[in-house]
Structure 1
Amino acid sequence: MKILMLPGDGIGPEIIAEAQRVLEHLATDSDLELEIEHGLIGGASYDAHGEPLTRETLERARNADAVIMGAVGGEKWAENPYHLRPEQGLLDLRQGLDLFANLRPAICFRSLASASTLKPELVEGLDILIVRELIGGVYFGEPRGIETLPDGERRGFNTSSYRTSEIDRVARVAFDIAKLRGGKVCSVEKSNVMESGLLWREEVAKLGAAEYSDVALSHMYADNCGMQLVRQPKQFDVILTDNLFGDLLSDVAAMLTGSLGMLPSAAVGAAGTTGLFEPIHGSAPDIAGKGIANPCATILSVAMALRIGLNRADLADRVEAAVEKTLDAGYRTADLGEGKHNVGSRGMGDAIISHL
């Protein structure tokens, strides 16, 4: 299996190093055969090549069985024009691979219930999956830009736009996954004030009635969904939403689990498409190089890569179980608070590998 590792910026190299150690351990302890390559993305790619994602790296991604990424971004590149910022490399990679569905699980491990800012009884046993449309909406819509008006004022504008086909394909992913889980989909938008949201609601409702009558479908405005996530999060099973709201709501859901450092993600497309697997957190440049970043979200992203990209659910189960046992044994990085064993990135990786 060919894996392309894209460490990126900030803490990216540190957390990717631990993810690679987990994969290499599995390769010595199973029949998994790996070919691991490395590439540049984000600010690292800009510094080396003058662009946040090169055509060569995109082509290497297309030829891989899975892509595992760290994180991109940082103040160093904040003055770059948008098309040369590190984040554009990630957007271009998602679009170049046609990865239209982002799967973002929010699972609260039993031993981390007290680390959440919510009462433990609200989050213990939490298991939500956010299905976010990934290559449409306001992040990709045209026209967009900043212009100077005749009266001298400046105007910034972005376009939120969706086609029926874009809504249909990501909704099918949500419905199909819900059939394997709790059988519920909550579709989230702002149809009360946005035409793109109204189209979203109408098309999801139409598809649900026509082909997924065995899945309980509900609809919710995005602002209410944010409130409900911190009020009664266990009411949700699968949340289906657009690019912008998925970005926001998954970060809200992250705090239910105790830390952004615990949430993995998978970006998937049509059958046969290379998947992209990455933690949902950022590059955290303020702690980069200190060896204290939590690698769990990246290691859990490896589990998603094994399950979805490499069709090795058996190994994915082992990785997820090892992470849970490590947390149960009291291992904590700084973002998770005090524990029996307070460790850094390497120490957490060591503990997870020992439990493998």
Structure 2
Amino acid sequence: MSKILILPGDGIGKEIVAQAIKVINSLNDNNDMGMSLEDGLIGGAAYDETGSPLPDETIKLAKNCDSILLGAVGGPKWESLERNLRPERGLLGIRSELDLFSNLRPAILYPQLANASSLKSEIVSGLDLMIVRELVGGIYFGKPRGVEIKDGERFGINSATYYESEIARIGHSAFQIAQKRGKHVCSVDKANVLEVCELWREVMEEVSKDYPDVTLSHLYVDNAAMQLVKDPKQFDVIVTSNLFGDVLSDCAAMLTGSIGMLPSASLNKNNYGMYEPIHGSAPDISGKDIANPLATILSVSMMLRYSLNQEELAKKIDIAVIKVLDKGYRTADIAFEGDKVVGTMEMGDLIVEALES
């Protein structure tokens, strides 16, 4: 039996996670999965109830579960809080506590949504790439950091730091994923101006020697951003640092037509994972039954594939999503004239129906 911690979080998190739970319940009922669910708090919802964006109880629950399904965190309601109490600190904190260093962000363009992309269909049709982002190091966690008074004015500092061991382990993660895909890793850095990136490139070259069947190439991050827009299908697996991965993965998301379609996984060395859509809490549409739950549902597919070793059930979810899209059903963010526009809850019901048909 697998135990899953459910962390709906804030904004639309509760709505979209509710649809993913429908999918999990269907898999339990029809495939004898025996997945049990535990509920927990994170982000602004956790702060409102406990005074902390990451309560000790949530960490305890996480360490006693096999994986985590997260909705989203944050919102303007909590922006005036001290930095260490803001919802996003809960997200960064749980990643660090569980050492979830390998963030997998696929960018897949479903053929049914080719018109939703901002690029010409011939540029993006058939897109299927994976961004592997280092998640618990780099400038988001490096020290020293902060804002102080220096020479009579405010002075801000953040430190981009990596140990070679941190670079090596994300490199191994990327190469192992590439072995199951197109056998090409592109490492993205800024080695022409940053010493930490010089080390990044050196270590990636060293790691590549363990994977002679995989080709390694390098791009500076500015060129990588340009290439993602110019010729995205040249990429198979992109591996990069925390900051660069944050930016490039959102850029890649828009190639697919909607950020509401893309799941993600954050894994530790034992493939324990936290699974979540890459989008935010979207407080402006919270409670309106219009949020797209497909990224969250596809995050369950990734959970089955990478943490629970249930590849066939993962494929069932993927196929169910394709079936529903084939029938013309869309949430508002991916809808065009002639599509059948449905709400969050109905989309969840349609996926369950396709799963069980």
Shift of 1:354: 1.1
1:277 to 275, 278, 286: 275
Give the structure 1 partner of residue 257 of structure 2: 258
Other-structure match for 1:100? 101
For the residue of structure 2 that corresponds to 1:51, the secondary structure is coil
Counterpart of 1:222 in structure 2: which amino acid? V
Offset of residue 92 of structure 1: 0.5
Partner of 1:192: 192
* Residue type at the aligned position of 1:128: L
Q: Report % sequence identity.
A: 57
CA distance in 2, matches of 1:320, 1:62: 28
Cα distance in 2 for partners of 1:83, 1:194 equals: 28
Following the alignment from structure 2 to structure 1, what is the Cα–Cα distance between the partners of residues 162 and 344? 40
- Equivalence map 1:169-318=2 (5 Å): 169-208=169-208, 210-271=209-270, 274-318=272-316
- 1:319 alignment partner, one of 317, 336, 354: 317
Q: Aligned-pair distance for 1:327?
A: 1.0
Aligned amino acid, residue 169 of structure 1 = R
Q: 2:229, 2:178 → 1: CA distance?
A: 22
Distance 2:251 2:339 in 1: 27
| 1:116 positional shift | 0.4
TM-score, normalised by the number of residues in structure 2? 0.97
Measure, in 2, the Cα distance between the counterparts of 1:199 and 1:82. 31
Task: Give the aligned residue type for 2:14.
Answer: P
1:355 paired residue number: 354
Give the distance between the partners of 2:180 and 2:35, measured in 1 at CA. 29
- Deviation, 1:28, is 0.8
Q: Please state whether the residue corresponding to 2:285 is helix, strand or coil.
A: coil
Q: Over aligned residue pairs, what C-alpha RMSD do you find? A: 0.9
Q: Which residue of 2 aligns with 1:119?
A: 120
Give the counterpart letter for 2:203 in structure 1: E
Could you list the structure 1 runs, at least 4 aligned residues long, displaced by more than 2 angstroms after superposition. Answer: 337-340
Q: Secondary structure at the match of 2:283?
A: coil
Query: How far is the alpha carbon of 1:270 from its aligned partner?
Result: 1.0
What amino acid sits opposite 1:342 in the alignment?
V
Give unpaired runs (5+ residues) of structure 2. Answer: none
- Structure 2 counterpart of 1:354, one-letter code: E
2:147 and 2:45 map into 1 onto residues whose CA distance is 27
Q: Secondary structure at the match of 1:3?
A: strand
SS of 1:29's partner is helix
**Matched residue type, 1:304:** M
The separation in 1 between residues aligned to 2:295 and 2:27, in whole angstroms, is 18
C-alpha separation between the residues in 2 aligned to 1:323 and 1:117? Answer: 22
Gaps of 5+ in 1: none
Give me the TM-score of the superposition, normalised by structure 1: 0.98
Partner SS, residue 286 of structure 2 = coil
Displacement of 1:188: 0.2
| Residue pair 1:61, 1:274 contacting (<8 A) in 2 also | no
1:333 partnered with 2:323? no
3-state SS of the aligned residue for 1:10? Answer: coil
Matched to 1:229, the amino acid is L
Q: What are the equivalent positions in structure 2 for 1:121-136 lying under 5 Å apart?
A: 121-136=122-137
In the alignment, the residues of structure 1 paired with residue 272 and residue 39 of structure 2 have an alpha-carbon distance, to the nearest angstrom, of 16
